[in-house]
Structure 1
Amino acid sequence: MKVWNKVELGIDFVSECLGRIGWVLILFALVFGLSDVILRYIFGQPSLWISVTIQYSMVLLACVSGAYSLNKGSFVKLDVFYERFSPRIQAICDIITFVFAFMYLYVLITRGIEAAELSFIQQETTPTAVPIPLYHLKAIIPFGAFCVLLVVIKHFVQDIRTALGYENR
């Protein structure tokens, strides 16, 4: 169990780092979004690249924030019945939903890798006045899904331990 505790700490560390990257991306979008509005409406000089990079950062934010949000328990749940269950029954419900989460993440990772490979081969860029490479972004999508999978596996092991009565949630 000592090894698994270290694995859990590693997963927590990775998700925390991704959360901090998410905060930087939010600040980036805020600062550059405001500057784009100022450039456009006050100075009459719209930017060719700011709106595209903000969209890029929002996709990155979606990729990196999933593991952080799941690890912190920030996802929205339908707690109508779930909150009334005992911790053991909650863990059993979570074990059942793990199968669906795993299947979804497996498809996202495998198809994401295929899309990223194709994008790298084609050297895909944005179809705008300032061509920004997209292949880096497409490579981050399966990476983000893999990080979410790590958190899902961590929770799965905790749920198994709870369902078997080894520890409380």
Structure 2
Amino acid sequence: MLYWAERCIGAMSELLGWMGWILILYCMCFGISDVFMRYALNAPSMWIGTSIQAALVLIACVGGAYALKHRAFVKLDLFYAGASPRRKAILDLLTAPFTFLFLGVLIWKGAEAAMLSIKLNQMTPTGVPIPIYPIKTAIPIAGIAVLLVVLQQLAIDIRTLVSGQDPEDDNDENGLP
């Protein structure tokens, strides 16, 4: 059961990574076209800038779980880079309460903001109104996705602490048995 859950969390974070990749392409293509339309054709878009802002929020949402899964977050290498796998696991376990606190507040307050936005049917105050509530709803959902990856990493750290083995030495890229 645990193996299945770890596989599902890994697949979810990979899917979120692909979504982020597509959103980056969207921002690049439409950002360039907006600049071209504004300066070359003197015909600025009424919706591209706002949709790119929404896409950037979504990139931040989907990128968190993917970056955490691939250990791509910036860490204080002075204490972490040269540490043994067991010491890295201890450092991860010491910082876990702060992670849970941050994610708890993000999910709690994000859900409140999303529910209010849905209730008010919030739209952007621009020439072309774009719904805001789907973006606000993505924030607590992304927090839950990151929480699942944090829990998976916590399980890996506990296994490393107990066994003393480096999960990177396993055949699987996720450190799974």
Q: TM-score, normalization: structure 2?
A: 0.91
Task: Pick the aligned partner of 1:62 from 49, 60, 63.
Answer: 60
Task: Pick the aligned partner of 1:141 from 139, 146, 154.
Answer: 139
Q: Which residue of 2 aligns with 1:168?
A: 166
The runs of 4+ residues in structure 1 deviating greater than 6 Å are: none
What aligned pairs does 1:111-126 form with structure 2 within 5 A after superposition? 111-126=109-124
Sequence identity (%): 47
Q: Deviations over 1:68-91 (max 9, x none)?
A: 011011111111022232211211
CA distance in 1: counterparts of 2:44 and 2:150, whole angstroms:
43
Amino acid in structure 2 at the alignment position of 1:117: M
Q: Which residue of 1 aligns with 2:6?
A: 8
Instruction: Report the alpha carbon displacement of residue 62 of structure 1 after superposing the two structures with TM.
Output: 0.4
The runs of 5 or more residues in structure 2 that have no matched partner are: 168-177
Task: Pick the aligned partner of 2:151 from 137, 150, 153.
Answer: 153
What aligned pairs does 1:96-107 form with structure 2 within 5 A after superposition? 96-107=94-105
Partner SS for 2:11: helix
Q: Output the aligned Cα RMSD.
A: 1.0
Q: Deviations over 1:117-164 (max 9, x none)?
A: 000111111111111110111000000111011110000000011111
Partner SS for 1:130: coil
Stretch moving more, 120-129 or 76-85: 76-85
CA distance in 2: counterparts of 1:41 and 1:114, whole angstroms:
41
Q: TM-score, normalization: structure 1?
A: 0.96
CA distance in 2: counterparts of 1:17 and 1:78, whole angstroms:
28
Q: Which residue of 2 aligns with 1:86?
A: 84
CA distance in 1: counterparts of 2:165 and 2:8, whole angstroms:
20
CA distance in 2: counterparts of 1:68 and 1:168, whole angstroms:
21
Q: Which residue of 2 aligns with 1:23?
A: 21
CA distance in 2: counterparts of 1:30 and 1:65, whole angstroms:
17
